[in-house]
Amino acid sequence: MRILLIGPPASGKGTVGRLLGKYLNIPVLSVGKFLRSIPKDHKHYEIINDVMRKGDLVPNHILGKMLTEEIQNSRYENGVIIEGWLRQISDLDYFDPKPDHVLLLSISKETSKERTLNRRVCVAHGHTYNLVYNPPRNEGVCDIDGSALVVRDDDNEETLERRWRIYEEKTIKTTEHYKKLGKLVDVSTEETPDKIFKEIKKKLNI
């Protein structure tokens, strides 16, 4: 099974992806984490790092090729959950994930802002926390691996505004494509993760 997650900034794509991956026993391909793991000696490191810091889109001819190569890995042969891809309809010209289901995760801009500005990520493995909804047991320390929690470079109001503009002007149009194909499932992610996941399982009949 292939599931594509689409939504505005901080709509819970990472959390939903993790829960679905564990439940279905299939890997998650987080495009954001994938790009942040690019080594400094990679030929596209500078452009990718600069674009992500500004909240813009990595050129789809570059990212599409990288994802096409990545998806060939045998770990994805039984299915995959992809989050962070398809920010504009032209992306499909460079990498079409051919999803069975497309989950549109919907939240308000106010919730997105609150989540983004209170997000903290551990430096070791990228475990994510929120100071309001899901704080660590000890301030500034990851519960799982004990590494320091930091604010991502792109978690600021200026970058958030740019990402929302891209989402409203470009990304939301991609959902019409999947709606016509009968693959779109719209889920509000304003609730707690448990309630959200229960609703997703019900709508996907899994």
DSSP, residue by residue, 28-41: EEEHHHHHHT--TT
pTM: 0.86
Whether 86 and 98 have beta carbons less than 8 Å apart is answered as no
Query: What is the torsional sign of CA 193, 80, 13, 153?
Result: positive
| Domain assignment of residue 180, given as a range | 2-204
CA angle 18, 203, 113 (to 5 degrees): 55
Give the pLDDT of residue 11. 94
Give the pLDDT of residue 55. 80
At 24, which CATH number?
3.40.50.300
Number of domains in the chain: 1
Q: What is the pLDDT along the chain (206 residues), one digit of tens a residue?
A: 999 999 999 999 988 999 999 999 999 999 988 998 999 999 999 999 898 888 888 999 999 999 999 999 999 999 999 999 999 999 999 999 999 999 999 999 999 999 999 999 999 988 889 998 889 999 999 999 999 999 988 899 999 999 999 999 999 999 999 999 999 999 999 998 899 999 999 999 99
